[in-house]
Amino acid sequence: MATYLILMGAPGAGKGTQAKLLQEKLGIPQVSTGDLFRENLKNDTELGKLARSYMDKGELVPDEVTVAMVKDRLSREDCQSGAIFDGFPRTVAQADALDALLSELDGKIKVVPFINVNPDSVVQRLLKRAELEGRADDNEETIRTRMSVFQEQTSPLLNHYEARGLLVEINGEQEIEAVQTDLLSAIEDK
């Protein structure tokens, strides 16, 4: 059976970094909704055009469009053994849609590691990243708003996966290598 993991954590918790490391170790791809949106918009796919029609009006792209992009991505050959989800699902409705999709693919979620980092540490990490990458839009106020939205949207999702016995909390305050070791242990234990 394919191995599907959902990496959860606040913006700046290190999900992307850890997903890339896991991708190398486990031989399954990182599936990031941000990357999927950029790819579909850049290639002007039907899904990209549909997403753009909402984005151009300043509206959120509906779950159905996001799930369709994920389904398309999972249909590719490199996902036959599983995938590491990064940035998806964001809501319980998306989690339910993902379960239905994985059921169609004869797969299921193995574990949901939650990389937990103190909010003040996240703010400092993101401010440093903004400075290094020249991201003018990442100021402290914007970061704290994103953190608030994350808490609001993700708390129900954490409870959802905890109730199913899939959630494993990982201390994200550690060095990158220690977080990776804990992630690999959590995956092996499930």
Pairwise CA distance, residues 55 & 95, whole Å: 22
Classify residue 76 by its DSSP letter. S
Q: Which of 52, 71, 90, 110 is catalytic?
A: 90
Q: Is 123 exposed, middle or buried (0-12, 13-18, 19+ CB in 10 A)?
A: buried
Is 146 a catalytic site residue? yes
Is 52 a catalytic site residue? no
Pairwise CA distance, residues 91 & 56, whole Å: 23
Q: By three-state DSSP, how is residue 106 classified?
A: coil
Pairwise CA distance, residues 154 & 164, whole Å: 16
Q: By three-state DSSP, how is residue 165 classified?
A: coil
Is 125 a catalytic site residue? no
Cβ proximity of 152 and 92 under 8 Å:
no
Is 38 a catalytic site residue? no
Q: Which of 52, 129, 144, 190 is catalytic?
A: 129
Q: Which of 52, 71, 110, 146 is catalytic?
A: 146
Q: Which of 20, 38, 135, 164 is catalytic?
A: 135
Instruction: Write out the H or E segment, with its range, that includes residue 75.
Output: none
* Residues 6+ away with beta carbon under 8 Å from 33: 66, 69, 70, 86, 87, 88
Q: Tokens 């290094």 map to which residue?
A: 132
Catalytic center residues: 15, 90, 129, 135, 146
